[in-house]
Amino acid sequence: MKINNSPTVLEIDSKAIQHNLRYFKSKLNLETKLLVVIKAFAYGSDSVAIAKILEKKKIDYLAVAYANEGIDLRKAKITLPILVLNPQKENFDLIIDYNLEPNLYNFKTLLSFKKLAENRNLKEYPIHIKINSGMNRLGFKNYDLNKLKNYLKELDHLKIRSIYSHLAASEDPQEKDFTQQQIYDFYQMSDALIDVLNYKPLRHISNTSGIINYPEAQFDMVRLGIGFYGFGNNKSETKNLKNVCNLKTKISQIQTIEKGETVSYNRKFKAEKTSKIAVIPIGYADGINRALGNGKGYVTINDQKAPIVGTICMDIIMVDVTNIECKEGDDVIFFNNQEHILDFAKNTNTIPYEILTSISQRVRRKIL
């Protein structure tokens, strides 16, 4: 068992998780199933801890990006169905061994998994078929359908658990026509595939923004991603949600520097007066983007903002606390609400997803 007594901790708020689940469930029809995406360590938090909460809440499905993420969940005794979004042929045997459900998105993956299922004499092993309705990542396209229908008639050892697609711009009101066309195309394409089956798989296309903006596109199931972790597709929706992850640490040392002295690598910060500088044990190896240095980012100490000064180091940042009453050992908040995370995303020209998923696995996790 690894011991981690670092003062730097990512707190995961289980009450916030439950609040966000209730909020999105309130938007769903009673019969609509819910899949929660917990890839990338559950968006940088703790996939096993999150999965255990979701299992208790009787969520219908989980989704991960790669087989190893699903295997970790199975080893932690998670029994919920798990969709592997990018299964990769070399992991097909492991996927079967750990009862994971692969997304099959082209003829190569479909035929490879079909052959393996036959060799292992599987019976109705669950698979998922991905349709490319306009995202142009993984998935069968419209011109594949006739050939695909013929293959689907011969899946004696497999059973399609779901047919699904992904919305490319559901958060963007300027792309409403495109999104509605995607939904229509998915409806038509999935209907064509279901026509050759003697059963009805689940259908799903909506992500978080789809749930919010396109309630007519719920089909049989929806996939909840960033919304689960506290972010809607606009400020008003985000206000209805609670922040799940809080990144905190403590002051290691406070330095007094004189006018003209500099701080950190390449002397990017030069004191214009006698200043107090707090040294904080967190850096870019923990997921703090170097672009937040030199005043672009800040931490909160005793309810006051302390700007990051100088260059962010691998394990350390420095902040200006000249006007803040504080001492070594005091709490430092890097973020504990959506506003902080959105600020950092804006200042580094990225999105909240990247801020969250960048938090290193060496940062201690704690469930509240």
Instruction: Classify the C-alpha dihedral 274-259-333-345 as positive or negative.
Output: positive
Active-site annotation holder among 176, 235, 259, 265: 265
Nearest to 225 by CA among 74, 78, 85, 31: 85
Q: Find the radius of gyration of the CA atoms of the chain.
A: 24
> In this structure, are residues 244 and 226 in contact, taking their beta carbons and an 8 Å threshold?
no
| 262 phi, psi to nearest 5 deg | -120, 165
End-to-end CA distance of the chain: 21
Q: Has 56 been annotated as catalytic?
A: no
Active-site annotation holder among 39, 114, 130, 242: 39
Contacts of 227 (CB under 8 A, 6+ apart): 20, 24, 208, 211, 212, 237, 241
What is the rounded distance in angstroms from the CA atom of residue 67 to the CA atom of residue 160? 18
Nearest to 83 by CA among 224, 233, 259, 285: 224
SS in 3 state form for 1-22?
CCCCCCCCEEEECHHHHHHHHH
Q: Has 366 been annotated as catalytic?
A: no
What is the set of active-site residues? 39, 265
